Structure 1
Amino acid sequence: MIEIIAISETHIESFHRALDTVARERRYLAFLEAPPLEAARVFVLDMIARGHPQFVALSGGEVVGWCDVRRHPRPIYAHAGILGMGLLPPFRGQGIGTRLIRTALAAAQATGITRVELTVRETNRNAIALYERVGFAVEGLSRNAVKVDCVYENVIQMAVLF
């Protein structure tokens, strides 16, 4: 059974491993490998300290997925947050991503966030379908915004309003 819970300091190393696995797929995230463990630790502890929603999916005590909403730091954008998420390959297509994103969005709304935005590669059809199912709408397209292994990809901007 997969448990969805708020991240804690005890999950940092497992979160870092999951982040690195998804990043090394080179298809979904904004980086191609996880940042150093210490940088991930700083990120998670900062998210916790600031009360930003960050949830993990656990299987056997190990992080197999995550979803977080980081509030924009500047006052004119502080009503909005940026969503990030990922799920290890064996756990995709089982509804876990939907559970994660719904949990994170509800928590974001509870903290007063009224807009959540994200970017997604145009080729990531499964993620786009998930985002649309939970209420995200396409707001724009950045052509050739990503270049991985000498191949350009378009990036779609999406957002949901509460």
Structure 2
Amino acid sequence: MQFTVLPIQEKHIDSFWNAVDSVARERKFLAFLEGPPIASTRSFVLDHIKNNWPQVVALHEEQVIGWCDISPLDRPVFAHVGSLGIGVLAPFRGQGVGEALLSMALQMAREKGLTRIELTVREHNTPAISLYKKYGFVKEGIHKNAVRIDNTYENHIFMALLFE
């Protein structure tokens, strides 16, 4: 399967939203259960483009099959920190898409001058945790019962990467 990873462009917004919505509706990985309103998604993407913040997409046959973004934290004392979000559509997992996305987004974050990248990941998501560890992320803590879906609790693992 061939795919291309590149910085997101305005023309990708609708396809990006579809991908986010699809992964969210799986109810296994993201912090929301459906895609956010398209207007919010558009604003998020355009803000990343305008400010040159890392946001990349993987395309297969011109459709977004995965994404990775690193968003700045909103206070001056945290200006060196980015928060990472990533997702890959189910049929494309385990084929190197997530790794390609993460690699490019982290390179962009370095170029942007970020020195700390943070993320949370659900404890059951061992493939993602393994990928993050491969890139140097370390576990900094556990948020017990951080997620509740259908009266079932799940822990979040808090991880971070420090650029030297």
- Tell me the TM-score normalised to structure 2 length: 0.97
Does 2:123 align with 1:122? yes
Structure 2: gaps spanning 5 or more residues: none
Q: What displacement does 1:135 show?
A: 0.8
> After TM superposition, which residue ranges in structure 1, 4 or more long, deviate above 3 angstroms?
none
May I ask how many residue pairs the two structures share in their alignment?
A: 162
Q: Which residue of 2 aligns with 1:138?
A: 139
Q: Output the CA distance in 2 between the equivalents of 1:77 and 1:141.
A: 21
Counterpart of 1:50 in structure 2: which amino acid?
A: N
Counterpart of 1:161 in structure 2: which amino acid?
A: L
Q: Which residue of 1 aligns with 2:73?
A: 72
Counterpart of 1:41 in structure 2: which amino acid?
A: R
Q: What displacement does 1:36 show?
A: 1.2
- Tell me the TM-score normalised to structure 1 length: 0.99
Q: Which residue of 2 aligns with 1:57?
A: 58
Does 2:36 align with 1:40? no
Q: Output the CA distance in 2 between the equivalents of 1:73 and 1:108.
A: 16
Q: Deviation string for 1:87-138 (max 9, x for gaps)?
A: 0011100111001001000100100000000000101111101111111000
Seq. identity, %: 53
Q: What displacement does 1:149 show?
A: 1.1
User: Could you say what the CA RMSD is over the residues aligned between the two structures, in angstroms?
Assistant: 0.6
Q: What displacement does 1:43 show?
A: 0.7
Q: Output the CA distance in 2 between the equivalents of 1:50 and 1:111.
A: 10
Q: Output the CA distance in 2 between the equivalents of 1:39 and 1:123.
A: 29
